[in-house]
Amino acid sequence: MTLTKQIAWDDTILPFQLDAADVRGRVARLDGVLDRILAQHNYPPQVEDLVAEAVLLTAMIGQTIKLRWKLSLQIHGTGPVRMIATDYYAPQAEGEVGRLRAWASYDEAALKPGAAFAQLGEGYFTVLLDQGDGGQPYQGITPLTGGALASCAETYFAQSEQLPTQFALAYGRSQLPGQPEHWRAGGVMLQHMPKASPYAVDPQEAVPSGMPKLLEATDLLSDGDSENWNRVSLHLETVEDLELVGPQVQPTELLVRLFHEEAPRVFDSQPVQFGCSCSAQKVRDSLSIYPPEEIATMTTEKGTLTADCQFCGAHYEFDPATLGIGADGPARAADKR
């Protein structure tokens, strides 16, 4: 595929490779997907920013997984924002659409003025990979660090995958002439091609604080690789927010502008859309583990048990009898969307 090929770049992830630098990456553009995710909730601005950043990271990281797999990010904090959860569902078959969803838990009364990342406090950034039936689940954890979720992701890849990684992200509300305001997000992810090599630095090496040393990109590269990586990283640092989010600059044009000397080569783009995997049966299965006395406390005066999906807002109602209390009865599920 050539760089001059026209693509429909909204809600897509474009994989690419810089042949002259031994670097691969992704360009993501999220428009309707992010609008749909954030429209499910009335988040305060700081929470919206964190969710937008997490969704953008999930899209770019998730595009690397195999068909039918699921990649999730879970960010746990001790601050007003307690948790952010995102999922990327890989396509079921080649040429199909990937799906994204996200949700946040927070204490609005405890939110403080200042940067969005500060609302998380201390905590952990977790990457989870579900390989489907018969596959072994994977989980990688790194502390919240660096002042941004993108920094946490970079640390995760250096620490857990030994892959030098760099992100450039931009997101926010945008309005084109004659159109309503809506969310747009864009980003570039760079990653040095993996090599079969041991840690450049012992991850258990202590730093003055007594905590294990967190690896950085420079810890993982030889002299020759470092020169290539530093050069490409400097190119990426010149990118502007409007170039990242578009809508006037196509991803292919952005790659030429940033990396024309690095022999950029692009591959087929991956379309993404909002998608949730909740269902009445999954909710029923999760409720079935509760003891009868707890089910009884969750039952309304009308004799129904209700549950809402935190990701998409779907509303489900059940007859408690079908969950082990009383006579058998049919389950009812109602989607309020």
- What pLDDT score was predicted for residue 334? 38
Q: How far apart are CA 218 and CA 239, in angstroms?
A: 21
Residue 74 has pLDDT above 80, yes or no: yes
What percent of the chain has a predicted confidence (pLDDT) above 90?
57
The secondary structure of residue 219, as a DSSP letter, is: G
Q: How far apart are CA 17 and CA 192, in angstroms?
A: 10
Provide, for the chain, the percentages of residues in helix, strand and coil under a 3-state DSSP scheme, each rounded to the nearest 5.
30, 30, 40
pTM reported for the whole predicted model: 0.82
Which residue did the predictor score with more confidence, 210 or 272?
272
Tell me the CATH number of domain 12-274, given options 3.30.70.20, 3.40.50.300, 3.40.50.2300, 3.55.30.10: 3.55.30.10
Kindly tell me the number of DSSP H helices and DSSP E strands found in the chain.
8, 14
Q: What is the pLDDT of residues 230-256, one digit of tens each?
A: 999 999 999 999 999 988 899 999 999
The tokens of 92 are what?
A: 């079921």
Per the rule left: phi > 0, alpha: psi between -120 and 50, beta: everything else, 40 is alpha
| Domain limits, the chain | 12-274, 281-333
Class of domain 281-333: alpha beta
The secondary structure of residue 212, as a DSSP letter, is: B
* Residue 152 near residue 146 (C-beta atoms within 8 A): yes
Residue 297 has pLDDT above 50, yes or no: yes
- What pLDDT score was predicted for residue 213? 57
Which residue did the predictor score with more confidence, 270 or 208?
270
Q: What type of residue sits at position 192? A: H
* Residue 311 near residue 69 (C-beta atoms within 8 A): no
Indicate the pLDDT class of residue 214, thresholds 50, 70 and 90: low
Q: What is the pLDDT of residues 4-56, one digit of tens each?
A: 333 467 999 999 999 999 999 999 999 889 999 998 889 999 999 999 999 99
The tokens of 204 are what?
A: 């258990």
